[in-house]
Structure 1
Amino acid sequence: MSKKAIKALGPDRYFNRELSWLAFNRRVLEEAKNEAQPLLERLRFLSISGSNLDEFFMVRVAGLKGQQLQHIGDFSVDGMTPTQQLEAISEETDRLDVEQQQCWTELHDLLCEAGVSVVTRSALHEHERAFLSERFDAEILPVLTPQAIDSAHPFPFVPNGGFGLIFNLRDERSGERVNELLMIPTTLPRFIALPSEGQERRFIAIESVIREFFDRLFPGFLRVEAGAFRLLRDSDLEVEEEAEDLVLTFRSAIKRRRRGRVIRLELASDTPPALVELICEGVEAQDALIVDTGGLIGIVDLVGIVETDRPDLKFEPFSARFPERIQEYDGDCFAAIRAKDIIVHHPYETFDVVIAFLRQAAADPDVVAIKQTLYRAGKQSEIIEALVAAAEAGKSVTAVVELKARFDEEQNLLWASRLERAGVQVVYGFVDMKTHAKVSMVVRREGGEMATYCHFGTGNYHPVTSRIYTDLSYFTASRSAARDAGKLFNLVTGYVPADNLELLTLSPRGLRKEIIALIDREIENAEAGLPAAIWAKMNSLLDPEVIDRLYLASMAGVSIDLIVRGICTLRPGVEGMSENIRVKSIVGRFLEHSRIFVFANGERLPHRGARVYISSADWMPRNFDRRVEYMMPLENPTVHAQVLDQVMIANLIDNEQSWMLDGDGQYQRLVPGKRRFNLHRYFMNNPSLSGRGAALEGKKVPKLKLMQRGG
């Protein structure tokens, strides 16, 4: 079938992006219901599902709502208008809200049996009430600010994520009625831990504490009616392409985001109509999605209970390994990399190796220059401190700080200031594109010559997420890789065209084109009667051009296995279009984040002749057109084997954490047969091929083989 014939199939060949994302969040919620997970980990998944849904409303729904209000009738790739999408989203999120509340009720009952509970005021013991009384007076009351709502006191501004209580009170002396708003500061914990003994852990919600000591907050008033609410605002940043000063523009945009349009308003089910009307008018929620939670407001806040000290209700502790190969060189990263390329598999192998690489560069008198991209670095970053130390030691240090990393913009501005004060040359990249590639370069003087050591990552330089996201770190002393990395940095810092690249493929210039060329090569091999297959692992698959080419490959007989954790708009398993395409999603203890692309290249997979690539990019229009991304081939035999024979096969044969997508958009959890396999457990217990070192060369690592599909 031709490309023209594929397009003639119409928009039904795609799933809706937003509904696909909601399907992913449902899979996260299902882990909260999964009896195989420890109880507090199930609660963590429930909290994550709440956090995910918040961000979805603040960004995706906000964008659609803006289109609707501006009467923009653009169709999504699956043929829906913004209004149609919002209606479908509302129906699905209503179902998710109900399921989240049901899940919380069930989990709370189970946690109570295990000795972890959220208690009501009536269930407080006397010593607990005394503890709360003292804490209320000393720590809570001083930071609360009641605000009367009347003609002289208009409804105050409520920030994004704001959680508040609202009351209608009667003055005991005059009998007059007054409305009062009480916003709960984010500095106060949502759930307060009560004094505990043994294994028992008891909590009480902050709103229950306030109601318990209501008379101290409002002496001389009687409570007539009361309610609670929480709101979310439009939090996407828009930056004008002609912005003259990117830093000032982003500081201004961050301030505007705090005052964005209200997108979602959650209300406690017992909030009386008069107070609901007062809230809606006060926060200008006339265009917002208004939700009666029917239970707990702010599911995301349950994370405060997850952190309680009950290790018996959590995953068994896991200690990441430091690559043995580097230890064999007495911790000398440069010597180890110079001897052989290394790929490190996070979080099973510690992110500390990346920090050690940069710390060694900072302290090494032979290192003359360091170049580093920074997309998300976290609030406490040893990466930043290593770059500061290098600059203060007199080295040439360049940091490409991406200001457009969503929800990390403010933190990145702070890091940029810290780096500049230390003498680092800070570059902010492009106004209209994000620098999403994760690359480090260290230039070192060795024997009268300059040697360059590079790190290419599939994930962020973030110390917290590196412990829960599965990603790959590739270290190499390849001169070709060094020349290409230098061109990447020159592109971002000086707009110098990255021509004549030897290994890397970059977006926005040629990444989509190269991926399509690789797919076309598999089509040619299939038509020539050669083995033809594609294995690809990513976070999201959305690009219509690439999806259409995958359909053509399927129709040509190419066997395609896709591991797409989140959004997937490709419709698999449709006869005559995609019957040779299988899509699975893995959701478990760790968040699958690495991007790996494998093309059979005329061999039967897995085979050392296959083309294997790592990348910073998902297959999405934004990654191809509006971001600086890289794709890197893995040519070293050991590194190639680790990624193909270990990482990819483990993902394909996992049957304990996997969901299969069908042609109707439904995900079905795989049911393990006799041969159970959990890829996270496997990598926690088995060293990698690339980093295990000579001491473990003779140690037997279980060989992975492709099993019957579906377990």
Structure 2
Amino acid sequence: MTRPAHLPIFDDDDPFVREDSSERYFNRELSWLAFNRRVLEEALNPAHPLLERLRFLSISGSNLDEFFMVRVAGLKGQQLQDVQRKSVDGRTPSEQLHDIAIEADRLMQAQQQVWISLCEELADAGIAVLDARDIEGEAESWLEGHFRDQIFPILTPQALDPAHPFPFLPNRGSSLIFDLVRLSDGEPIREVVLLPGTAPRFVRIPGKTARYVAMETLLKHFSAMIFPGYRVKGCAAFRLLRDSDIEIEEEAEDLVRYFANAIKRRRRGRVIRLDLETGMHDELGTLLKEELGGGDAIITESAAFLGVSDLEVLVDEDRPDLKFPPYSPRFPERIREFGGDCFAAIKAKDIVVHHPYETFDVVLAFLRQAANDPDVVAIKQTLYRAGKQPAVINALIAAAEAGKSVTAVVELKARFDEEQNMLWANALERAGVQVVYGFIDWKTHAKISMVVRREGSEYRTYCHFGTGNYHPITARIYTDLSFFTADPRIGADAAHVFNYITGYVEPQQLGLISLSPRDLRAKLVEMIDIEIANAEAGKPSGIWAKMNSLVDPAVIEKLYEASNAGVEIDLVIRGICCLRPGVPGMSEHIRVKSVIGRFLEHSRICAFGNGKALPNDGAKVFISSADWMPRNFDRRVEYMLPIENPTVHDQILDQVMVANLLDNEQSWELQADGGYVRDEPGDRPFNLHRYFMTNPSLSGRGAALSNSESVPKLSLRRRR
């Protein structure tokens, strides 16, 4: 399917590029690098257990890898095609790449310094990562046998000479290049050995004391076993990242086949970054750059460890004393009160479930009950990232096998989940589920389930709207909202949304839902305009919003307009923020903070004062699947839904939003110059993650908020 011709694609940035653009906007890519710097800073946070700090370091490495594979790759492609289109802050692709290279290098150097520091702390805690000089005695004897029996058989040394062209090396693959001399005749030879992807990056030596050796250290130490009869003249490690984005062609006739082929092509994408071990011989470095397209790639050098993301392996060490205490999420009491009957509980009153503090099992229970209930006649479900666990898929399969009409909208364009989603699509189709792949040039990012149930002589629709994916694993670490309702207005809207995705039947009118790319941006602008009018009329006004990224220039300009009208605006933006806050005459009434902690803040919420003295007296509250970015408004199917049930409204506004604004233990304040300053807790520390781990939700237990730890009500003067 292609996009209906009458719906234009919004031109991302061009209308907003102006002479003072750099003074009005932060660069998107540099803002993302600043976010990943905040993630890295958590690896130095003494409030976190040691192995959790190591996890933050690993996450920062994985994040940076993906940034290069997608964002930098896209800019590099524009540069090679001599595209001169400027970003919203006025930079050309080449200028952005220049600045990215500088900031990314600083970030990678900081990662290496953090790793060196953590190594020392790990050793003091009884977890040692051995260098080659530490391999001796009993440990060396065991490692020699392990290397000979378990590692050597899966190694494939590849000579580099006219008869052996340079081998293909996979994305994110680490390798060693050896400069050798044959002892018999002094003949030089070069060899490449790829670190086996099927083996762990670190080998643990048996024993109570945790001792690890990196795979590349073992290959260097036992090189004589790999190359008998040769002397090692030089050896160094290197690692590469490839362009991993997939471009969609509108003329693709078979989307599944197109993606299957595109994934294969992606594995051989252009080299974007080449990481070299410090001290590599100039000849070897030159050879790698020539053979791996290094002329176009960003070249980095490191003396510590290549592939910081692989440090995640060490976090698995069985040391609960060095990790966060285990947390078991609650099952909503509201549903327990109805004997586990999800439909009865939802029919009685709308419910919002706050993940990961309340278990994702409630979503699975909703789907399983739908599959097993003989009165359920139809289920419709969007799947963006479902992960590798089959719980959601199995529920849909069970429903189809029970004879129900089941429709699954599977998004093939969910980056890096394309293969898994194709596997799920095949399994669903074999079971009789009607699988739809949606639009070619839009992603279906909305997270919606609807269940149609026969009740007496009528049909009732039960809906679930999520701010996060139907993914049982990420639901344990991402903070998201699950909203359940049997409101017939919302059910009718959900049916129109699914018909739009599956059959291009564009809804002529939606009662409550705003939908991208149809009218979501317009609805936000309308709500901001109302706050501007309230401020200009002397009425109370205010905007509070929480999301992952704020990039869209049209919305940013409207927020600037609101600030100039006197509207007080508080934004919780975890990641990218292109809006420049606190600038007199432009954004002096806007404050932006970022929360980085044990859980990944992921829910999307926005609230508007609506002319009321206190927001809980009548503020308009919405949840959404969309960040405020051009792609979410123009190239994705997203929803935004008003919350009208008083109890759910109060939980989202007076608990979730307020706690995010009050947090001062995991928060960073964005400055007008683009820097972030960590909050100081002072004599009133507040940690929003700890609060929600220890306090039941308002929606889940009715009046629970009044019996829980006190959280001040949202005040328009709270941060003034």
Structure 2 CA distance, aligned partners of 1:285 and 1:122? 32
Of residues 556-565 and 378-387 in structure 1, the stretch that sits farther from structure 2 once superposed is 378-387
> 1:511 is aligned with what amino acid?
L
1:65 aligns with: 76
Q: Distance in 1 between matches of 2:607 and 2:579?
A: 18
* SS of match in other structure, 2:439: coil
State the match for 1:80 in structure 2. Answer: 91
Residues 164-217 of structure 1: CA distance to partner in whole angstroms, max 9, x if unpaired? 0010112222321111110112111111111121xx321110111122322222
| Aligned partner (choices 333, 348, 357) of residue 348 of structure 1 | 357
Alignment of 1:222-301 (within 5 A): 222-301=231-310
Match of 1:702 in 2: 710
Instruction: Give 3-state SS (helix, strand or coil) of 2:244's partner.
Output: coil
Deviation at 1:136, TM superposition (A): 1.7
1:397-428 alpha-carbon deviations (Å, 9 max, x no partner): 10000001011111111111111111110000
TM-score between the two structures when normalised by the length of structure 1: 0.97
3-state SS, counterpart of residue 607 of structure 1:
helix
Q: What SS is found at the alignment partner of 1:568?
A: coil
Separation of aligned partners in 2, 1:389 and 1:616: 27
For residues 602 and 302 of structure 2, what CA distance do their matches in structure 1 show? 32
Q: CA RMSD in A?
A: 1.7
**Structure 1 residue 139 corresponds to structure 2 residue 150:** yes
Alignment of 1:4-403 (within 5 A): 10-124=21-135, 126-197=137-208, 200-403=209-412
Measure how far apart 1:394 and its partner are. 1.3
| 1:614-662 alpha-carbon deviations (Å, 9 max, x no partner) | 0000000000000000000000010000000000000001000111111
Give, in whole Å, the separation in 1 of the partners of 2:701 and 2:203: 45
Cα distance in 1 between the residues matched to 2:702 and 2:23: 51
Conserved? CA contact 1:572–1:583, under 8 Å: yes
- Letter of the 1:359 partner, please give it: R
Hey, what's the Cα distance between the residues in 1 that align with 2:16 and 2:74?
A: 32
Partner of 2:499: 490
Q: Measure, in 1, the Cα distance between the counterparts of 2:692 and 2:55.
A: 22
What is the alpha-carbon distance in structure 2 between the residues aligned to residue 391 and residue 8 of structure 1? 58
DSSP-derived class of the 1:173 partner: coil
C-alpha deviations, 1:78-137, integer Å up to 9, x for none?
Answer: 111111111111111111111111111111111111111201233235333333233222
Tell me, yes or no, if the aligned pair for 1:608 and 1:640 is still in contact at 8 Å.
Answer: no
Distance 1:415 1:195 in 2: 39
Alpha-carbon spacing, 1:7–1:122, altered in 2? closer, same or farther (3 Å): closer
For 2:581, the aligned partner's letter is: P
Instruction: Answer yes or no: is 1:609 the counterpart of 2:615.
Output: no
Q: What amino acid does structure 1 have at the position aligned with 2:324?
A: F
- Secondary structure of residue in 2 paired with 1:691: helix
**Superposed CA offset, 1:512-555 (max 9, x none):** 00000000000000011100100000000000000000000000
Conservation of the 8 A alpha-carbon contact between 1:655 and 1:710: no
2:440 aligns with: 431
Task: Indicate the residue corresponding to 2:3 in structure 1.
Answer: none
Structure 2 unaligned segments of length 5 or more: list them: 1-14
Deviation of 1:464 after TM superposition, in Å, equals 1.1
SS state at 1:228 partner = strand
- CA distance in 2 between counterparts of 1:6 and 1:302 reads 41
In structure 1, the residue matched to 2:4 is: none
Shift of 1:277: 1.5
Tell me if 1:444 matches 2:453: yes
Q: What is the CA-CA distance between 1:697 and the residue it aligns to?
A: 8.2
- CA distance in structure 2 between the partners assigned to 1:355 and 1:25 by the alignment: 33
Contact 1:157–1:283 (CA<8 Å) still a contact in 2? no
Amino acid at match of 1:179: R
Q: Secondary structure at the match of 2:674?
A: coil
- Give SS of 1:440's match: strand
The answer to whether the 8 A contact 1:659-1:670 is kept is yes
Give me the whole-angstrom Cα distance separating, in 2, the residues matched to 1:411 and 1:692: 37
Aligned to 1:656: 665
Residue in structure 2 matched with residue 590 of structure 1 by the alignment? 599
What amino acid maps onto 2:392 in structure 1?
I
User: 1:476 — aligned with what?
Assistant: 485
Query: Deviation per CA, 1:326-365, whole angstroms, max 9, x where unpaired?
Result: 1111111111111111000000001111111111111111
Distance in 1, matches of 2:189 and 2:701, equals: 70
CA-to-aligned-CA distance 1:133-169 (integer Å, 9 cap, x gap): 3322232111111111100000011111111001011
Contact 2:696 2:708 in 1 (8 A): no
CA 1:6–1:421: 2 relative to 1, 3 Å:
closer
Would you say the 8 A contact 1:687–1:701 is kept in 2? no
CA spacing shift, 1:499–1:196, aligned 2, 3 Å: farther
Task: Give the whole-Å Cα distance in 1 for the aligned partners of 2:612 and 2:183.
Answer: 85
Aligned letter for 2:198? T
Structure 2 residue matching 1:68: 3-state secondary structure: helix
Query: Who is 2:632 aligned against?
Result: 623
Q: Which amino acid is the alignment partner of residue 207 of structure 2?
A: S
**1: distance between equivalents of 2:92 and 2:206?**
54
Q: Which residue of 2 aligns with 1:691?
A: 700
**One-letter amino acid of the counterpart of residue 371, structure 1:** K
Q: Counterparts of 1:42 and 1:113 in 2: how far apart (Å)?
A: 15
What's 2:426 paired with? 417
Write the distance in 2 (CA, Å) between the matches of 1:122 and 1:655.
45
Note if contact 2:360-2:476 (Cα within 8 Å) is conserved in structure 1.
Answer: yes
Structure-2 change in CA distance of 1:555 and 1:26 (3 Å):
same
Would you say the 8 A contact 1:239–1:253 is kept in 2?
A: no
Secondary structure (helix, strand or coil) at the match of 1:117 reads: strand
Aligned partners of 1:405, 1:697: CA distance in 2, in Å? Answer: 37
Contact 1:156 1:282 in 2 (8 A): no
**Counterpart code for 1:140:** I
- 1:490 maps to amino acid: N
Partner of 1:336: helix, strand, or coil? helix
Structure 1 residue runs without a partner (length 5+) = none
**Cα distance, 1:500 vs structure 2:** 1.3
**Aligned residues, how many?**
705
How many Å separate the matches in 2 of 1:468 and 1:697?
23
Over residues 474-533 of structure 1, what are the superposed CA-to-partner deviations in whole Å (9 max), with x where a residue is unaligned?
000111111000001000000001221111000001000000000000000001110010
Letter aligned with residue 95 of structure 1 = R
Paired residue type of 1:527: E
Q: Is residue 639 from structure 1 mapped to residue 676 from structure 2 by the alignment?
A: no
**8 A Cα contact 1:233 1:262, kept in partner:** yes
Identify if the C-alpha distance between structure 1 residues 8 and 242 changes in structure 2 by more than 3 Å, giving closer, same or farther: same
Task: Give the secondary structure class of the aligned counterpart of 1:286.
Answer: coil
1:512 is paired with a residue whose SS is: helix
Q: Whole-Å Cα distance in 1 between the matches of residues 694 and 180 of structure 2?
A: 61
Q: Retained in 2: the 8 A contact 1:504–1:631? A: yes
Could you tell me the TM-score, scaled by structure 2's length? Answer: 0.96
Equivalent position of 2:561 in the other structure: 552
* Mapped partners of 1:18, 1:347: distance in 2: 29
